[in-house]
Chain A
Amino acid sequence: MAEANIQNKNNLFQLSPEGKEFVQGELSRYENKYSAIIPCLYRCQKENQGWVSPACIRYLSQIMEIPEAHIWEVAKFYTMFNKEPVGRLHIQVCCNISCALNGGRELADHLCQTYSLNAGEVSSDGMLTISRVECLGSCGTAPMMQINESYHENLNPEKAEQIINELRAKYGS
């Protein structure tokens, strides 16, 4: 999986027919087509195993008629776009103030240790990536993490591990 993703770096990328339609929709939605860059990048990330590859940028540049450099500017500005391949489960542990006060940083360290990964790394089976991120807007339920598109709140190390293990079993099969 991870290897497939890395190969993807040089490969051509194309959105699905629905994806293309989505991009066209976004393009006609805003006064300035530059406003459509973020939703379109999200779409590519979703259809490209969780990360935005240079091939995605080239592809978007073509269909959106926006210079590559300017789409890349947006992708680089926002940390929620992954510029490197990630595992099938992308675990983002919040380490910002509220979570940090409630053990978010320790949680991130604990998970990295448990799964023998450095932050940002893809596990050898291609399943996991653990990232430390800034506030995800769920401060009242700190500490918390986001796995792919869902939030998991009021965590402690055991609970977090359990969630990850369950998901891993589910996605792994």
Chain B
Amino acid sequence: MPKCKINGKEVDVPQGTTIIEAFKASGQEIAHYCWHPGLSVAGVCRLCMVQIEGQPKLQIACNTEVKEGMVINNNSETVKDTVRWGLDFHLINHPLDCPICDQAGECGLQEQYMQFGKYDPEMAEHKVKKCKVVDLGPTVVLDSERCILCSRCVRFTDEVSKTHELGIFERGDRSEIGTFDGKPLNNKYSLNTVDICPVGALTSKDFRFRQRVWYLKEHNTICTGCSTGCNVKVYYNEEGCWRVKPRYNPDINGYWMCDEGRDIYKFINKKNRLQEITMTEKGVSKVFQAEELLPQLGLELKNAVQKNPESVALILTGQYSCEEYQSLLNLMVKSWGLKNVFHWVNHPESMEQFDGLLLRGDKNPNTKGLLNELDLLSLTQTWKDLEEKLHRNLIKHLIVAGPENLATFSDVKEKLKLFSSANKLIWLSAGIFEGVSSVCSQVVQIPTKTFFEKEGSYINHKGMKQRVTPGVEIVKSALSLCEFVEGLHHDNKGAHFQDMDSALVDTKLKEPLKENFFTATRGSL
């Protein structure tokens, strides 16, 4: 364990640690563009210069190992001046079009400039003009002029996605990022290049020009797109959610996430959501308040189960939290005596698939959690059993905790057809699916909260339990399954069960945004 001194502070690091890693470990700032902890070292931006006592020249921190007794600093005038010039060279051909740049507010160049800008640049040459809109592929757009050629994106496609689409072509100040012979940048992880691009050269087609980042807030949560459970941040404002980015978790997703997972903000947004509790009978729909409908529904279901347990069935998808399964099963199985509980698997054929990096065929965040709960209560009926019971018209009441992320359920239509032999369908879902209201002669639709609006835990494919907390309220009348259960077995009408976890709801949005929210939290570029 070599010991070194960084800006006067004693630091102890494992053998083989580079100086830049030691800076990070000791919580000290160091300018850098090309180094990224998830990629190999390129040493091309020359911004991470440090002075090492006893060495005549400055060294780059990203490619120099810490040796016993090294005395290192990056706060001497020599270092600062070098970084200042390094930055000025990066800016020779940079267009400085921050006002129209999507990266403004979270840009490495802007951040370093605040500290190391020459403010009075001495470059008199004309800037080299390059293409500002290069359509790299289905997800990413390149502005060649803004690129500082750090090569992070190239290393990402070489080392992480291993798809090798990107390269640096031509040389000198004509160098440009590009692909060979117009081949698109098209892989399941392509948007990570946008995250790691330290400037506004790579932007996401989905997000560009839609919001200014300093008006967005971020909420830490997990991706519910598949059973991997990548750690993510969802960016939102008063109008809804706008983008999803990965959050570092060495045990789950490292620094990355897949492109598919970035779409999960879409189904959370209001326009894609079921808005009201409704009951539809003979083609007429009526809107209800939860406290009007649920106690009565609870009574009806309870009586039905107790009269004939075979006549009621509960169908669960792997989309909900452990706590929600528990409370639903506690009420219906443990206290009412329900026997018919079934697991709706949306992609039975690909459940076990894995692409070798992150993406899994099980498109549910909590299949494992659900199976655990079913196991604990020895609920072992299969889908085949359900089909048979439905065909024999045994089931009158069907409660379905359905899809939250409808995009991952390609079989809803087919399943609804199967459900149509019941008399009454109680359909819980966050999204809107055409035709649900006419499946059975009586259909109750209850909007559910998404992972972004509730508290709960999810167990990923390898058994890691992760907790999510509520971001903001998006659909006012949506219920979590816990709240639904609370409503069902509440005898007193008008109880405020809907506020059950509202104490946890983040209301900070109403407060003014603090200083420069993004630059303050963007330690790792």
A residues in contact (CB < 8 Å) with B: 54, 57-58, 67-73, 76-77
Contact = CB atoms under 8 A, between A and B. Distances in A.
Contacts of B183: 68-69
Interface string B166-177: 111111000000
Most buried by B among A54, A58, A70: A70
A58 B183 CA distance: 12
A54 B180 contact: yes
B181 A70 contact: no
B179 interface: yes
Nearest to B170: A76
19 contacts: A54-B181, A57-B180, A67-B158, A68-B164, A68-B180, A68-B181, A68-B183, A69-B164, A69-B166, A69-B179, A70-B164, A70-B167, A71-B180, A72-B169, A73-B167, A73-B169, A76-B169, A76-B171, A77-B170
A73 B168 contact: yes
Given A57-B181, A69-B167, A69-B180, 17 more contacts: A57-B180, A58-B181, A68-B164, A68-B180, A68-B183, A69-B164, A69-B165, A69-B166, A69-B179, A70-B167, A71-B180, A72-B169, A72-B181, A73-B169, A76-B169, A76-B170, A77-B170
A70 B170 CA distance: 12
A72 B170 contact: no
A8 B434 CA distance: 53
Contact of A67 (B164, B169, B181): B164
Among the interface residues B166, B170, B180, B183, which one has the most CB atoms of the partner chain A within 10 A? B180
Nearest to A53: B181
A76 B177 CA distance: 12
Contacts of A68: 164, 180-181, 183
A54 B180 CA distance: 8
Q: 4 tightest A-B contacts by CB?
A: A67-B164, A69-B167, A76-B169, A68-B180
A72 B164 CA distance: 12
A72 B167 contact: yes
Contacts of B170: 76-77
B507 to A, nearest CB: 49
Contacts of A72: 167, 169, 180-181
Nearest to B154: A69
A134 to B, nearest CB: 12
A91 to B, nearest CB: 23
A56 to B, nearest CB: 11
A77 B181 contact: no
A76 B169 CA distance: 6
A54 B179 CA distance: 12
Contacts of A54: 180-181
Contacts of B171: 76-77
A139 to B, nearest CB: 22
A79 to B, nearest CB: 9
A58 to B, nearest CB: 8
Contacts of B180: 54, 57, 68-69, 71-72
A168 B166 CA distance: 41
Contacts of B179: 69
A70 B165 CA distance: 9
A111 to B, nearest CB: 26
Nearest to A71: B180
Contacts of B166: 69
A78 B135 CA distance: 25
A171 to B, nearest CB: 30
Nearest to A77: B171
Nearest to A67: B164
Interface string B258-272: 000000000000000
Contacts of A69: 164-167, 179-180, 183
Nearest to A73: B167
A68 to B, nearest CB: 4
A149 to B, nearest CB: 24
A108 B120 CA distance: 42
Nearest to A57: B180
Nearest to B167: A69
A66 B165 CA distance: 12
Nearest to B182: A54
Among A71, A72, A73, A77, chain B packs the most CB atoms within 10 A around the CB of A73
B468 to A, nearest CB: 39
A12 to B, nearest CB: 14
Contacts of A73: 167-169
Contacts of A57: 180-181
Which of A54, A69, A72 has the most chain B CB within a 10 Å cutoff?
A69
Chain B CB within 10 A, most for which of A54, A58, A68: A68
